[in-house]
Structure 1
Amino acid sequence: MRHHVKCALLAGAAWGVLAGASTAQDAEAAAQAANAGQSNMVDDIVVTARRRDEQLKDVPVAVSALSAERLEQTGATNITALQQQTPNATVQIARGSNSTLISFIRGVGQQDPLWGFEPGVGLYIDDVYVARPQGAVLDIFDIQRIEVLRGPQGTLYGRNTIGGAIKYVTKRLSHDPSLTARAEVGSYNEHNFLVSGSVPIGDTFAIGGAVATYQHDGYGENLNTGQDQYDKDVTAYRASAEWTPNDSLFFRLAWDRVEDDSSPRHGHREVNSLTGGYTPPAGEYDTNAGITGEQKVVTEGVSLTSEYRVNDRLTLKSISAYRSGDTKTVIDFDQTPQPFLDVPALYSDDQFTQELQAVFTGDRWSGVAGVFYLDGTSSGAFDTIAGNLGLAIAAAGSVDTQSFSAFADFSYDISDRLHVSLGGRYTKDDKDASVLRQFFLGATRTPYTGGTARPVFATRTNYSASDTFEKFTPRASISYDFSEEITGYASVSQGFKSGGWDMRGDAALVPQTVNGYQPETVTTYELGLKGSAFDRRMNFASAVFYSDYKDQQITTQQVATAPAVGIASVVDNAGASTIYGFELEGSAFLTDDITANFSLGYLKNEFDEFITLVTGTPVDISDQRQPQNSPEWSAYYGMTWRGDIMGGEIRVTPSLSYRSDYHLFDAPDPILDQDGYVLADASLVWIAPSKRWEVGLFGRNLTDVRYKVGGYNFAGASFNNSISAFYGPPTTYSARLTYRF
């Protein structure tokens, strides 16, 4: 705690440095020169948040950059580890899923991963946009770093980045032969294996690849079927070829594939059933789910990146990519052997994207301009098997999207210290949708998901629709170098998320569903201060922000028994919010042997309006609603001690992460709302003198905290009082051996 307070005081003192920073600049430069040989100074961090290589302190954007070394050192296994180390971020596995990603940044995101809905946080593998969240829980291997851009990124990253963007940056191939082999074993019969490497062929060409498998037994059990719950069975492949024919040209062809064969993940019933006498299992990872079926997720992508360095001032870049994904899954919403609320589902998507960029660099200016095109299709079908109603409700449909955008962002140095940046993006989405919803008698699968063929009892929804959604999203910033080490900035930025149609919509129950919903927008005002201090023994990045969130697309559930029977979602532009807060993160050398990494986030997210059709007339119930996945406080603190043992280097890293209480749904629910909690992790890594061998021991969630990451709420007699929750991992231990050549 003393070290935690010390880091906070150091970061706070850095703000105070501003008053004397300018006059002390020469003194700082002298101190840096005197300490140039010290190894305990922070390194310059380079990011590509503005689509060009820049030092982190020079970027007027709130960016968290986590290197591969830091992630490996803390034992991070997949992209959800970002949630612990990034302020004001929620990065989780979606409820009822093993590899679908749910992301919120500064209270903005999208919890519903159904096809047709757009995410609120953009995900990029290198510079390739990943439009769908299925299969997006990326395992961490063969990477260079992960960048988390907080706040709207509507200018340079465009559509559906109103909350921010996550960039998964892979390594470029080595000019020398390389090989990495890794084996990891742990609790719950965990066994992970990785082999990656690259081989140069001549002076200008290289090929590389990686294969990784991740497996562990379930944290719990399906007490009805005996099947594992919360297990993992994932295989990932990656291959690339790079050609550099001369100093001006670079080409990279990359392919990746992920196969998830984990067991279906069902939730934990939180309350007694009204029929059948089912009570919550004693273990939070156990279930009594009755539905059976295959769980299979396959995602695949190929991309070609081309760069042409015209001269010292201009570089041209092309990014062509195709991605596809298929999902088969089953979810038991009622968590009982009976089919009160069972959902088998099929998802499919594909996308082609093309981006052209021109990166400019001048004596006092720099920037990037380009165009982006996406042609994608998302489709699916799922059943809602409602045993109490004697029905199986089939929902099927697809959304075709063609998106075009043009963007530019330029920075100009007014003086050696004062810099301005202006940018904007025009986006146009053309969408075509088809939505079908039908009732079948009998509480078994419908023909759409492989069930028995039988007549349609009633067609509730059957329509096709088209619409165009377009928006110009600007960004402007001004930054000032108070010294060579400290930069402050002020910015305003805007992002938008495209409109669409509800694939679950029941036109008989909610006639307005055929009209769809319109885009939502976020405008954010931000002040930031970043850089290094105390003879570069600490680097930090901080920001305060205020966001105006309008036309929020909010999903609510409606259940009816008379005069119309059914269950359906309603998606409307129901909400508007005011969001504000601050963030602080960085690292510091506390002693020559101890380094600290820290982050602190404060988030205040409140609905200004929440319009619903409770009685057929619009009613504002914002005083009864709370934004989801928006903990008021989030924090991380980790220390790494480095020492020498047996001729090699040892690194010991204990860490704590904290999230205050938060809501899983907009409607507060004492059963599903999560109280604040602290996760304690620890790692020990020994690196051999040759640097080729590495041994690591890792413990995660050492105090075995039970915390909810998702849930479903279908209370009432119609669906047997089905309230269920999904939990984060329990205490786990693992040992890892790595060989590098």
Structure 2
Amino acid sequence: MTPALAQAQALEEIVVTAQKREQSLQDTPIAITAFGTDDLQNMSIDDLGDLATFAPNVMISPAPTNTGKAVVAIRGSVTSNPAITWEPTVGLYLDGVYVGKFSGNVMNISELERVEVLRGPQGTLYGKNTISGAINFITVQPSGEFGGSLRAGAGNYDYREIAGSLDTATLSLGDLGQLMAKISGGIERRDPLYDNVNARQGPVIHPLFGTEIQPNPPGNSGHNELDKASARLDVLWDATERLALRYTLNYAEADNTPGKAQLTAIDPTDTTFGFPLPAGIEKYLSDEDDNLSKSSTDAPEYEKFDSTSHSFFATYNLGEVGSLGEVVVNYIFNTRELDFRQTLDNDGTPFSLFHSIDQKEIYEQLSHEIQLTGATERTDWVLGLYYFDEEADVLDPLAPFNEVLEPLLGAPILLENQYGFSAEQLAVYGQLEWRPPILDDRLSTTLGLRWTREKKDAYVIHPGDFSVSANDKWTNVAPTFIVTYDIATDINAYAKYSRGWKAGGFNGESNDPVAFSQGYDPQEVDAIELGIKSRWLDGALQLNAAAFYNDETDLQLSVFTSGAGASSEVRNAGEATKRGFELELAYQVNADLLLSANYGYLDVEYKEFKEFDPVIGAVVDKSGEKDIQYAPENTLNLSIDYTFARGHWGELRGYMNYSYVDDYVPYVNPSQNASSAIDSRGLLNARLTLAEIPLSNATLELALWGKNLSDEEYRLNTVPFGTWTASYFGDPRTYGVQANISF
């Protein structure tokens, strides 16, 4: 957390809306990290992926093979595969509207005002129950004053961007109130980070015929190319003193090339596919710690998505309603459509060993939410009714081992898998905070409760093999209880118990019709959190800490199965405990210097891991033989924000950030992690800004920025096929310049 600069020796108060009302961050009994406008600019945060590791015990990284899907882990809980049929562990919200699935969640968001990262289950205040946390993106609303901004930038790898926003002046509608609007959008492009070139290592030998197989030409020019655009329309109508209506349109599209698949491990003895790898394939093998600048892959890879979201907000102030206090009614409507398409090379070689061809995902969601909020002298309360409906259809053609099988069979193989689902959720939730007239009004208690009913219908079609459908429904009651006590001025402590719940479902990628029909059960977590929030040195030093203990049951785990129909499935493995603590520190040394740090510690273990053992023919506990995914023991973030000079010409500011993530594993099975374990990494980012440069009726800002300045080479994730492992790496050093005019 990096609060904006205020007067000397005083940190600016950060206001958040995590509890559906405006509160100081320090008064909110939740483990929460908030980033304001200055923070987002300093850290170059435009989308979910940019958040990376800036909050303790939070890790966000691109999904394997993708640039438009992110894996989000909070406190060791994660949905590690971006399959659209699975429930995310972390809820993503845009202006209070739930964004349903992984696909396209790494989208540029125009005009961000604030990002709030909430750790721990969130259910009694949010439309969708989220089991490990929530990330709220809050945009800048129309101001009613004419103005705007224009930003342009350029960088290495031929990076270029242009973005802008325009605020209209308030339009008076007479007795119908007043109308104001904001239009914003941007384009971001970058050449590939890695060149895709003709292979020079020579042919390999067919494992059955002993004939040479020549490498194929490159399928495209490179990998990790960006071509993204976003647009936003925000219209606010203050109809009366009591009634406000708001409409937002969010559009995002991308035409990228997927992440570079790099062959980092092979097992010549493995016969997962029924035969060994072609002899000589080891010539294309690279070290897992060496991020190659050039690769040779043959699939015509692409990654395209477009997402359109319409939201409507209505707020009506009922005024004083007896003992309920001042009551406000909020209505939120949203509909979102997503079209996601891609072709992937999953083997990292110039041979057709395993390709995903023309995958297509079509997704739609719709939600209605009604909230009543009220406040009296001693209470604040929220009551909500939520309805959520979603539907997805997926075409997932796979082309396994065609370099080997096509000469044998006389034709290429294409496994045209299809699957999809529809789901409907209804929930009622409420939360009441009461400040009893005892202990000098230092004590407050909060009670929340949520009832949820969800039902799903799903299908899988494997042409020529099987076609099957299934359905199920579940209900859940999840409570929250919080006690907060003001120990002294600017020091308060809280204790919190909450239950998180994630619905069950069906494995769309399943190759077994029986296993698909059985599906998997909901997951629950009982979470205990103790926290303290404090300010010292007349408000110059802020220290927040939280300790947590999570007990997860019916744990939903992603298990990757290699082979011709390579797929990931969710299984209810059993129970796990996840505990740790988090520290967040901010120190305003003087008017020019701000130091910030946060640290997260995580300790995880299985209490039970149920798995069928084919040797003994029974389900046994293998908790001592399994790994927990995406659970680094230590995360650390340090930053310095310094103003070098001020004058009539403007301000010269410098910002530097260092983030560290401990080693972790991306899979459950140790055999897969043997070639997939992710080493620890530390990344250094910086920004130098000449700000507040006065122009006639505007201000100019010029900046130099750099990411991964030490050019660290690090893996982010892998796909272990057993026979081979393909690895995906983080971005190399990038840098550039940026200019912004505000008027």
Mean alpha-carbon deviation: is it higher for 123-132 or for 200-209? 200-209
User: Is the CA contact 1:437–1:504 (under 8 Å) kept in the aligned structure 2?
Assistant: no
Instruction: Give distance in 1, aligned partners of 2:64 and 2:378.
Output: 49
User: Is the CA contact 1:76–1:140 (under 8 Å) kept in the aligned structure 2?
Assistant: no
Mean alpha-carbon deviation: is it higher for 207-216 or for 335-344? 335-344
Residue 253 of structure 2 is matched in structure 1 by 259
The answer to whether residue 602 in structure 2 is matched with residue 603 in structure 1 is yes
Residue 29 of structure 1 is matched in structure 2 by none
CA shift digits 1:5-45 (9 cap, x unpaired): xx9xxxxxxxxxxxxxxxxxxxxxxxxxxxxx954311221
5 Å matches for 1:492-641?
492-507=497-512, 511-558=514-561, 567-615=566-614, 616-641=617-642
Mean alpha-carbon deviation: is it higher for 514-523 or for 52-61? 52-61
Residue 336 of structure 2 is matched in structure 1 by 323
Residue 323 of structure 2 is matched in structure 1 by none
Superposition deviation, residue 74 in structure 1? 2.8
Select 1:366's aligned residue among 370, 380, 392: 380
Select 1:483's aligned residue among 483, 488, 499: 488
User: Is the CA contact 1:218–1:228 (under 8 Å) kept in the aligned structure 2?
Assistant: yes
The answer to whether residue 420 in structure 2 is matched with residue 417 in structure 1 is no
Residue 423 of structure 2 is matched in structure 1 by 401
Residue 20 of structure 1 is matched in structure 2 by none
Residue 697 of structure 1 is matched in structure 2 by 704
Instruction: Give distance in 2, aligned partners of 1:542 and 1:177.
Output: 42
TM-score (norm 1): 0.88
Residue 674 of structure 1 is matched in structure 2 by 678
Instruction: Give distance in 1, aligned partners of 2:24 and 2:117.
Output: 15
CA shift digits 1:359-418 (9 cap, x unpaired): 110010001101000111022010221125664323212111111000000100014100
Superposition deviation, residue 675 in structure 1? 1.5
The answer to whether residue 103 in structure 2 is matched with residue 155 in structure 1 is no
Residue 225 of structure 1 is matched in structure 2 by 219
5 Å matches for 1:168-207?
168-203=137-172, 204-207=178-181
Give the 3-state SS of the residue equivalent to 1:316 in structure 2. strand
5 Å matches for 1:275-294?
275=278, 277-278=280-281, 279-280=284-285, 283-284=291-292, 286-292=294-300, 294=302
Superposition deviation, residue 140 in structure 1? 5.2
The AA in structure 2 aligned to 1:486 is I
Select 2:91's aligned residue among 94, 114, 122: 122
Select 1:337's aligned residue among 338, 350, 359: 350
Instruction: Report the CA distance shift for 1:89/1:167 in structure 2 as closer, same or farther (over 3 A).
Output: same
Residue 59 of structure 1 is matched in structure 2 by 28
Mean alpha-carbon deviation: is it higher for 215-224 or for 288-297? 288-297
User: Is the CA contact 1:523–1:547 (under 8 Å) kept in the aligned structure 2?
Assistant: yes
The answer to whether residue 414 in structure 2 is matched with residue 392 in structure 1 is yes
Number of residue-to-residue matches in the alignment = 676
Q: CA RMSD in A?
A: 2.0
Superposition deviation, residue 180 in structure 1? 0.7
Give the 3-state SS of the residue equivalent to 1:255 in structure 2. strand
The answer to whether residue 238 in structure 2 is matched with residue 244 in structure 1 is yes
Is there any run of 5+ residues in structure 2 with no aligned partner, and where? Answer: 173-177, 198-217, 269-276, 321-325, 407-412
The AA in structure 2 aligned to 1:242 is L
Residue 60 of structure 2 is matched in structure 1 by 91
Give the 3-state SS of the residue equivalent to 1:514 in structure 2. helix
Residue 443 of structure 1 is matched in structure 2 by none
Give the 3-state SS of the residue equivalent to 2:168 in structure 1. strand
Instruction: Report the CA distance shift for 1:729/1:617 in structure 2 as closer, same or farther (over 3 A).
Output: same
5 Å matches for 1:638-717?
638-645=639-646, 647=648, 648-668=650-670, 669-690=673-694, 692-716=699-723
The AA in structure 1 aligned to 2:303 is Q
Instruction: Give distance in 1, aligned partners of 2:258 and 2:332.
Output: 36
User: Is the CA contact 1:121–1:161 (under 8 Å) kept in the aligned structure 2?
Assistant: yes
User: Is the CA contact 1:554–1:575 (under 8 Å) kept in the aligned structure 2?
Assistant: no
Instruction: Give distance in 2, aligned partners of 1:98 and 1:558.
Output: 23
5 Å matches for 1:135-150?
135-139=104-108, 141-150=110-119
Instruction: Report the CA distance shift for 1:389/1:494 in structure 2 as closer, same or farther (over 3 A).
Output: farther
The AA in structure 2 aligned to 1:501 is F
TM-score (norm 2): 0.88
Residue 186 of structure 2 is matched in structure 1 by 212
Is there any run of 5+ residues in structure 1 with no aligned partner, and where? Answer: 8-36, 439-455
Instruction: Report the CA distance shift for 1:293/1:603 in structure 2 as closer, same or farther (over 3 A).
Output: closer
Residue 726 of structure 1 is matched in structure 2 by 728
Superposition deviation, residue 357 in structure 1? 0.3
User: Is the CA contact 2:7–2:591 (under 8 Å) kept in the aligned structure 1?
Assistant: no
User: Is the CA contact 2:141–2:234 (under 8 Å) kept in the aligned structure 1?
Assistant: no
CA shift digits 1:226-285 (9 cap, x unpaired): 522111100111111111122211111000111101123341111257315331357435
Give the 3-state SS of the residue equivalent to 1:85 in structure 2. coil
Instruction: Give distance in 2, aligned partners of 1:236 and 1:499.
Output: 33
User: Is the CA contact 2:641–2:655 (under 8 Å) kept in the aligned structure 1?
Assistant: yes
User: Is the CA contact 2:566–2:721 (under 8 Å) kept in the aligned structure 1?
Assistant: no
CA shift digits 1:105-149 (9 cap, x unpaired): 101121111121110000000011100111111335411100001
Instruction: Give distance in 1, aligned partners of 2:620 and 2:587.
Output: 51
User: Is the CA contact 1:227–1:263 (under 8 Å) kept in the aligned structure 2?
Assistant: no
CA shift digits 1:640-676 (9 cap, x unpaired): 1113255311111122111111112122324321121
Instruction: Give distance in 2, aligned partners of 1:427 and 1:592.
Output: 49
Identity percentage of aligned residues: 27
Superposition deviation, residue 574 in structure 1? 1.2
Give the 3-state SS of the residue equivalent to 1:504 in structure 2. coil
Residue 347 of structure 1 is matched in structure 2 by 361
Residue 444 of structure 1 is matched in structure 2 by none
Residue 452 of structure 1 is matched in structure 2 by none
Instruction: Report the CA distance shift for 1:558/1:245 in structure 2 as closer, same or farther (over 3 A).
Output: closer
Instruction: Give distance in 1, aligned partners of 2:280 and 2:232.
Output: 49
Superposition deviation, residue 286 in structure 1? 4.1
Residue 453 of structure 1 is matched in structure 2 by none
